[in-house]
Each structure stands twice: as structure tokens, then as C-alpha cells.
Structure 1
Amino acid sequence: MSLDLYLGGYAQGKLQYVLGKYPAARAEIVEGSHLPCRGDDLACVFEQTDALRIWNHFHSFVREMLKNRLPEHLSKLPYREQEKWEDLFLDECLEVIRQADRTCGKLIVISDIAGNGIVPLDPGDRIYREMLGRLQVRMAARAGHVELVTAGLGQVLKDGERNGPLED
């Protein structure tokens, strides 16, 4: 089982780029907030095959998770309470990613980068950017392959062994 991560800005051709890298593979694409694999989904656990699971628009999953879990006035909580909530949220998201990594034969995660540009006025949007960025940092550290895709061209940021298991 392995996790590859493809990052880039909005509408930069990330999915087309990934599909072009695996022309002979049978790719199953899961969009946004849908989970790519669940432990009880036996159809998701691939037998020995060239099939790969692509989790496109991963950033939509993060936004959906936040929508259901974000405290109304997180920014008004004491700093330690904010930090505790953020750690719990990241752990919950990472558990979903770990489970997908364990149960999918080859998992490719494609996500927009949300940290560039103007900082949003809305506190919820700022928290979304922060949580997405922190998750991407943790995923990149543990992924076997990481690329930045801009204008349909990939730039390899990492190609090799994971820095550590997703269980950290």
C-alpha cells in the first residue's frame, strides 16, 4: 500500500496529469467529500491488480469535515482550547487518511493548495486554510511520492521512501 500526493492551484490540470502518468492502469476516481476506502468496504480492498484509487479534490473533504465540526466561536476560545480542538480535528482527518491508505492498494490524493493569495476575512475560511495546510504537510512527510502541478506540468518534490508511517 502506498500514498502519493499531488498538489497545485485551482484548475491547474492535476487530475489529467495524474491520469496521464498511469495510462494503462485501471483508475477509480472518488470525488471530494466521499471517502475513498473504508475498512468495512471489501470491494475497496484491491486484490493483486494494477488498479489505483484516486481521491480527487481532497480539499473538499477537509472543508466538509470542518463544516460539521467547527465550533461557532473557535477564535474566541482561549489559545490552549483552540490548539486542543485543532489537534483533535487533525487526528480525526489523519485517521480517515490512514484507513484509506491501509485499505486501498494504491492511493493517490489530489488537492488544491489553499494557502496562497489573500487571507480570507471569514474566520472559518482561515481555519480551513490552516487545517488543510497542516494536513498536507503531514501527508507529504509520509507519502512515497509528492508532486506540485502547475499548468499541467508536474514538479517532483519527493520521490522515495516515506519519512514515517501515517500512524504517527
Structure 2
Amino acid sequence: MLYLITGGSGSGKSEYAENKLCELSKKTNSSKVYLATMIPYGRETEEKINRHRQMRAKKNFQTEECFTNLSEFVKNMKLQKNSDKKEVVLLECMSNLVANELFDKTGVNTILKKQYPALSNNEVVEKLTDYILNGVKKLNDIYENIVIVTNEVFSESTVYSNEMRMYKQVLGKVNCELAKAAVEVEEVIYGQAVLYKNEKVKCMNKKAGLHLIIGGAYQGKLEYARKLYPQIQWADGEMDSFEKIQNATGIYHFEIYIKRILKNEKLDTKEIIEQIFAKDIQKVIICDEVGYGLVPVDSFERYYREQVGRICTTLAKQADKVTRVVCGIGAKLK
């Protein structure tokens, strides 16, 4: 069975995941494998690796290293593994594995560039995602239980390079697919674990009232909403006209719609909300969380980030429902 643990930097997710694996090991009388994915380069990473080694020093983990090509690693492990021996494995962590496959010279992205130089970014994202997930599937075939740690790097407004945007896309898609397969998905926030469960999806043709759906970038929010509301008319806050957005029943890329308004018109928070609901209060709004991470240097970006937070806070107070989506799974906030 697969367990997915996510959380921000320094949130305590690694220690939580180790303890979960220890519990699973006791229940199934299994030995424990620690699958390390961080390439030891530079003083900072070496210190982090040493810190993690100290955390698990007395937990009797068998440590293995896999920086890239998880499928090949599993193939070799399968040859070494005693089929009668029960083992559980902790993959620490998926965010490092994705980065290695994308940016390290031994990663699959280097191979793809040589073999398929004409691939678009979207095609690269799909191939990388499938490649990584295939490795996880093979890992799942030979171990009793798998705990995978991943990173919450999606909830901020900072504009990154194309390479970092691709990294977030791949990691987001991988996380969503892992969450679908997992029996449990938990987010660790300052050492406290929040359990996410799949909500029962129902076909809703009735009016939704105001439903605010939030979460980091590439978390599967739109897919989640489309399953929940298959009949509504959607508008893209990034591309569609202001008139179409105001008339639509559902809006996605809502944070970009706010940015467009702020750039084109001098409106305050109240006026933006009034404009959004000038036609009809029956709305489903999907918005990226952009208030995390470092404060932007650019004054407009700071203003924009704050306005998104204030507008969503006001909408959340008015909303009939507020849902936060992590790895494709919705958690009810209201």
C-alpha cells in the first residue's frame, strides 16, 4: 500500500514519515528500507543528509541511494531481495528525485533532449511524469508498504524560470497521481499532520452557491472541480474577456484575473468583488494560493499578492463552501 506525506520546508514531514514507516513495520513485522534521493553536493546538502541520518540512527533502517532511474534501481533490488522477506520502504523524497531527473546530467531529461530534440515542454512534462510514476509502480510491486515524502512548493506568487516552472508542473502531476493511488494522503504543518480524504464525487447540476476552491499551483484543482460540477460553464481568468468571466458560472485562474484587473483598472477589493458578482452570485471560483514563499521585490507583485489574499478572505466569509485541494484531493475548510 502507498502512503503520501507532503508539507513545506522544515515542517517535520520527514520525521513524521519515518515514524509512520516504523509503525507499519511493527504491524506487518517487516524490516525497513530508507531510499535516499538527495545528491550529496555542497555543504548545505551534506549537513541536511547528516541531520536525516541522525534522525533515523536508532530506527534500524537499511539505507539505499537512488538519485535517478528508479525503475532500474527496483530491478536491481528485486534481484537482491529475498521474496519471502517482508519489507517496507520510505522514499525520501520525491521532490529531489524529480529535480534529479530534470536537471542532473544522469537524469532522464538529458536523455530525452538527445533522443527527441523537438519535444515541446508539455510533451517533456508528460514523458517525465510517466517515467517517474512507472518507477514508483515497480517499487510498489516488490514492497509491502511504501511511504513517499514530497514537498509543498506550489503556494507562492514568485515568477520563476521556464525550467523551474516545468519542475513544479512535473512534481505537481506526480503528486496528484500518487495521491490517487495512495490509501492515505497527509500534509504535515509544523509537525501536525492533516489527513486528506477523497470526497465522494457527486454529479451536481443544481446551483452551487459560492464555492471557493483553493490550493497551490499544479494541484489538480480544475480537474477536481470539473468532476464535482460537470455541467457548469467555465471561464479562464488568464485568457478570457472580462465580460465572459463575469457571465461564467465557474472561473479558474482567478488569481490571474485579479492581476489583470489591477493592471488595467484602479479598483479596490470591494469593487473587484462587486464586479465579479454583478451578474449572479452562483459561482465556483478556483484560485491559486499565492501568499506563501518569499515576499516579492517588485512593489506591484507585493500589492497583487496581498490583494489576492484579501479578496479570497472576503470570498471565503461569503462562500457556502471552501475547499482546499492538495495533490488532487479536496479537504473541506467550510
TM range (shorter): 0.7 to 0.9
Contact 1:44 1:104 in 2 (8 A): no
TM-score (norm 1): 0.77
Contact 1:5 1:143 in 2 (8 A): yes
| Residue deviations 1:53-97 (CA, integer Å, cap 9, x gap) | 00012100000011131688xxxx8xx833222211211111111
Point out where structure 1 has 5 or more consecutive residues left out of the alignment. 160-168
- What corresponds to 1:162 in structure 2? none
Counterpart selection for 2:145 from 91, 97, 106: 106
Counterpart selection for 1:27 from 25, 28, 32: 32
Give the secondary structure class of the aligned counterpart of 1:102: helix
Counterpart selection for 1:64 from 100, 114, 127: 100
- What corresponds to 1:40 in structure 2? 76
- What corresponds to 1:6 in structure 2? 5
Contact 2:21 2:147 in 1 (8 A): no
d(CA) in 1 for partners of 2:193, 2:8: 12
- What corresponds to 2:54 in structure 1? none
- What corresponds to 2:164 in structure 1? 125
Over 3 Å counting, the alpha-carbon distance change for 1:23 and 1:82 in structure 2 is closer
1:140 counterpart = 2:179 = yes
The structure whose RCO (Cα within 8 Å, separation 6+) is larger is: 1
Amino acid paired to 1:13? G
d(CA) in 1 for partners of 2:120, 2:22: 48
d(CA) in 1 for partners of 2:176, 2:82: 26
Over 3 Å counting, the alpha-carbon distance change for 1:13 and 1:133 in structure 2 is same
Give the secondary structure class of the aligned counterpart of 1:64: helix
How far apart are residue 120 of structure 1 and its match? Answer: 4.0
Give the secondary structure class of the aligned counterpart of 2:197: strand
Overall identity of the aligned pairs, in %: 16
Give the secondary structure class of the aligned counterpart of 2:173: helix
Runs of 4+ residues over 6 Å off in structure 1 = none
Q: RMSD between aligned alpha carbons?
A: 2.6
d(CA) in 2 for partners of 1:157, 1:145: 7
How far apart are residue 40 of structure 1 and its match? Answer: 3.4
d(CA) in 1 for partners of 2:133, 2:169: 15
Higher alpha-carbon Rg: 2
Counterpart selection for 2:123 from 49, 71, 84: 84
TM-score (norm 2): 0.41
Q: How many residues align?
A: 151
Give the secondary structure class of the aligned counterpart of 1:10: coil
Amino acid paired to 1:30? L
